[in-house]
Structure 1
Amino acid sequence: TLETLCSSEANPQLVWQFSGMVKVAIVPGNGAGNVLRCNWYGWLHGKLHHPPGLTCVCRNMPDPLYARESIWLPFMQNELGCDEQTIIVGHSSGAAAAMRYAEKHRVGGLVLVSAYTTDQGDPTEAASGYFNRPWDWAAIKGNAGSIAQFMSDDDPFLPISEQLEVAQGLAADLHRFEDRGHFQNTAQPELLEV
């Protein structure tokens, strides 16, 4: 489970990677507003935040509607403190941000929920900056300790082909569902099982 994965005592393989304290950073999708009250973000935060051994950060993001890369990636580094001991859980636009972040920075791992690869012709997505160049799958894989991905075939916003492109490009541990839509429920117990 994610809880077990995040426990260095319970998972000796992580001792080399994490020196004692583990952090999970939840990066929401755009438009989330108050993230602790949106979708499953607050629920997951409550399940994982057990200091001092495990901390979970989940904060309102700047520029929440456009989720611009030029604003979100520095916020992830400077305010959320994403580093090589951080497992980043990114949802939708937050998954795009997590992948771009891991192109340039070492992270403990990625959990990508509703990840995609193009702006799909949407002007807001195009303005975000995530989709104006190819994805560097090799860099992401090289900088992330482990990668899990959650997708649903009935996602109303994302084509299956783009979600599968992420899974293939990253050789992700893929958790594929038929009935989860865009993963906007108030709880996602499956996230704790990776």
Structure 2
Amino acid sequence: MESPSKAVIVPGNGGGDVATHGWYGWVRKRLEQGGGGDLCHSMHLEIDIRYAETHQVYAIVLVSAYTSDLGDDNERASGYFSRPWQWEKIKANCPHIVQFGSTDDPFLPWKEQQEVADRLEAKLYKFADRGHFQNTEFHELISVVKSMLKVAE
């Protein structure tokens, strides 16, 4: 599979304007010249993971990943948690899976974040002080994406 020519940032729920909220715009500016893998944060990462069950994807970089509806009505209504995850198909369709998680995330239990990493055999970047990754810069993510592009060349 060829290296991608662009990145797709799939933001989490309630984030506001993607160009100015959190790290999304900051990351986009730094990747504009070099492209990157598919980047997604929180709730909308389920869209990306489900897509990879049936389509080939060069890479997925997950930020704040989880496996259940967390007992939330809106999450349940999304339908992404209504059937089992097809972990083996995702791994077969996506050769590069990286995950960022933080044990102090106020919204997501670490157990679910760890389960995603284990099931997908993702390269896990585990932090204890990033919360839900709502900071305005994300240097580690840039390094990971650029490194993935070098491997693909």
Which residue of structure 1 lines up, in the alignment, with residue 117 of structure 2? Answer: 167
Which residue of structure 2 lines up, in the alignment, with residue 61 of structure 1? Answer: none
Instruction: Report how far residue 145 of structure 1 moved.
Output: 2.2
Report % sequence identity.
53
Which residue of structure 1 lines up, in the alignment, with residue 40 of structure 2? Answer: 90
Question: What SS class does the counterpart of residue 14 from structure 2 fall into?
Answer: coil
**Distance in 1 separating the partners of 2:80 and 2:22:** 23
Aligned AA (1:137): W
Which residue of structure 1 lines up, in the alignment, with residue 73 of structure 2? Answer: 123
Match of 2:130 among 160, 176, 180: 180
**Distance in 2 separating the partners of 1:35 and 1:145:** 27
**Distance in 2 separating the partners of 1:145 and 1:90:** 16
Match of 1:48 among 31, 35, 42: 31
Write out per-residue CA displacement over residues 27-48 of structure 1, whole angstroms, 9 at most, x where no aligned residue.
Answer: 0001123111111000000000
Structure index of larger Rg: 1
Which residue of structure 2 lines up, in the alignment, with residue 143 of structure 1? Answer: 93
Aligned AA (1:111): V
Question: What SS class does the counterpart of residue 83 from structure 2 fall into?
Answer: coil
Aligned AA (1:144): C
Instruction: Report how far residue 192 of structure 1 moved.
Output: 1.4
Which residue of structure 1 lines up, in the alignment, with residue 17 of structure 2? Answer: 34
Structure 1 residue 25 corresponds to structure 2 residue 8: yes
Match of 2:63 among 113, 135, 138: 113
Structure 2 gap ranges (5+): 145-153
**Distance in 1 separating the partners of 2:135 and 2:129:** 12
**Distance in 2 separating the partners of 1:37 and 1:152:** 23
Question: What SS class does the counterpart of residue 22 from structure 1 fall into?
Answer: coil
Instruction: Report how far residue 106 of structure 1 moved.
Output: 0.6
Question: What SS class does the counterpart of residue 165 from structure 1 fall into?
Answer: helix
Highest RCO, 1 vs 2 (Cα 8 Å, sep ≥ 6): 2
Question: What SS class does the counterpart of residue 89 from structure 2 fall into?
Answer: helix
Question: What SS class does the counterpart of residue 134 from structure 2 fall into?
Answer: coil
Please list every run of at least 4 consecutive aligned residues from structure 1 whose deviation after the TM superposition is greater than 2 angstroms: none
Please, what is the CA RMSD of the aligned residues? Answer: 1.3
If the length of structure 2 is used for normalisation, what is the TM-score?
A: 0.89
Match of 1:193 among 115, 135, 143: 143
